[in-house]
């Protein structure tokens, strides 16, 4: 708007056609993305008869929450769900704290070895010892079949470390930290009272990325946690979706009085309810961190 008058930019026919095509493509992408989720949600709260008769297409039919009651009664599900919450909360705190502290240290020019150290760390992005040496190391450290392996193994992601390092370089000026040092602040005080408050965007990005990674991690548990009582939700869901059976003998799935078709419907509805409950925490957290996500990724990925 200039001088109180709104300026309208006239679009050519080609530009209007391009916008229309974009809208159509985005509408198609939204439908393809959202429909499976809406179908799973509707099926999880529909009656069993509606599922058997295949009456559920988009909206739920004869709403009830029996499938969710069955899910929460399953001891295998509740145990895995609580395990995942523990791994995600504790693991994310450890990840963010270690990654942020390492990234801040490597971003300060006064540390003379930061460049060779960063090169040494970056090499691990392309080369690793492999699964067998990793298994031997975990076993020798006494982490095998313990909760700690889900937290300590992969405590720092090199990719996230690089992004956080560039962010600290661009957003925490050396002059500011030098002034704080002159005033008597040490590195720990500067990190927690100056660097962290100025870096909310990248902290939100790290929190979201690590939390989603922990919540979806099944491979670590598959290799290093033979005890089913320590399995996370992701590994439980993998077994449930592949085999179609719940881990616990206390599950209501497979009751003998159900015929084959109805038993299949019960199993499918149990899967649908489990999927919705599994997705729910991340779906609730993401909207609160989304406003920082793009900003943190862009600023942390581009070096001036």
**Residue 218 clears pLDDT 80, i.e. is over it:** yes
CATH code: domain 68-301 is: 1.10.3720.10
* Of residues 89 and 243, more confidently modeled: 89
User: Dihedral sign, CA of 219, 220, 226, 230?
Assistant: negative
Residue 6: partners with Cβ closer than 8 Å, 6 or more residues away: none
Q: Give 241: exposed, middle or buried? Use CB within 10 Å, 0-12, 13-18, 19+.
A: exposed
In 22-169 the beta strands, taken as DSSP E runs, fall at none
- What is the chain's mean pLDDT, rounded? 82
**pLDDT at 249 exceeding the cut of 80:** no
In this prediction, residue 254 has a pLDDT band, given cuts at 50, 70 and 90, of very low
Task: Choose the most confident range, by mean pLDDT, from 72-81, 82-91, 185-194.
Answer: 82-91
Single out the residue of 101, 222, 121, 107 nearest to residue 174, CA to CA.
107
- pLDDT for the residue numbered 291: 67
Mean of pLDDT values over 233-249:
71
Structure tokens belonging to residue 278: 């599994």
What CA–CA distance (Å, rounded) separates 253 from 77?
Answer: 13
Q: What is the DSSP letter of 9?
A: P
> Residue 2: which pLDDT band, with cuts at 50, 70 and 90?
very low
Poorest-pLDDT segment among 187-191, 290-294, 298-302: 298-302
Residues 227, 80 contacting (CB under 8 angstroms): no
Which residue, among 237, 259, 255, has the nearest Cα to 246 in the 3D structure? 237
Which has the closest alpha carbon to 258: 48, 12, 13?
Answer: 48
Average pLDDT of the segment spanning 84-90: 93
Give the predicted TM-score (pTM) of the model: 0.78
């Amino acid at each position: 708007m200039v001088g109180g008058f709104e300026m309208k930019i006239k679009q050519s026919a080609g530009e209007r056609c391009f916008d229309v095509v974009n809208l159509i493509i985005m509408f198609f992408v939204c439908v393809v993305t959202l429909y499976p989720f809406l179908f799973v949600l509707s099926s999880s709260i529909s009656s069993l008869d509606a599922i058997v008769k295949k009456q559920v297409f988009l909206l739920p039919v004869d709403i009830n929450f029996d499938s969710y009651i069955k899910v929460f009664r399953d001891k295998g599900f509740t145990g895995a769900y609580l395990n995942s919450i523990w791994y995600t909360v504790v693991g994310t705190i450890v990840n963010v704290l270690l990654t942020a502290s390492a990234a801040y240290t490597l971003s300060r020019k006064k540390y003379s070895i930061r460049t060779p150290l960063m090169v040494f760390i970056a090499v691990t992005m392309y080369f690793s010892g492999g699964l067998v040496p990793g298994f031997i190391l975990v076993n020798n450290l006494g982490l095998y079949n313990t909760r700690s392996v889900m937290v300590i193994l992969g405590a720092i992601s090199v990719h996230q470390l690089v992004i956080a390092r560039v962010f600290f370089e661009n957003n925490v000026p050396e002059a500011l930290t030098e002034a704080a040092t002159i005033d008597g602040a040490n590195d720990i005080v500067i990190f927690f009272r100056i660097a962290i408050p100025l870096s909310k965007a990248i902290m939100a990005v790290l929190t979201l990325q690590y939390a989603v990674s922990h919540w979806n991690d099944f491979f670590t548990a598959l290799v290093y946690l033979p005890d089913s009582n320590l399995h996370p939700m992701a590994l439980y869901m993998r077994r449930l979706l592949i085999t179609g059976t719940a881990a616990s003998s206390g599950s209501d799935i497979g009751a003998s009085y159900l015929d084959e078709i109805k038993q299949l419907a019960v199993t499918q509805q149990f899967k649908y309810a489990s999927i919705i409950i599994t997705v729910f925490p991340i779906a609730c957290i993401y909207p609160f961190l989304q406003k920082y996500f793009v900003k943190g990724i862009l600023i942390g990925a581009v070096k001036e």
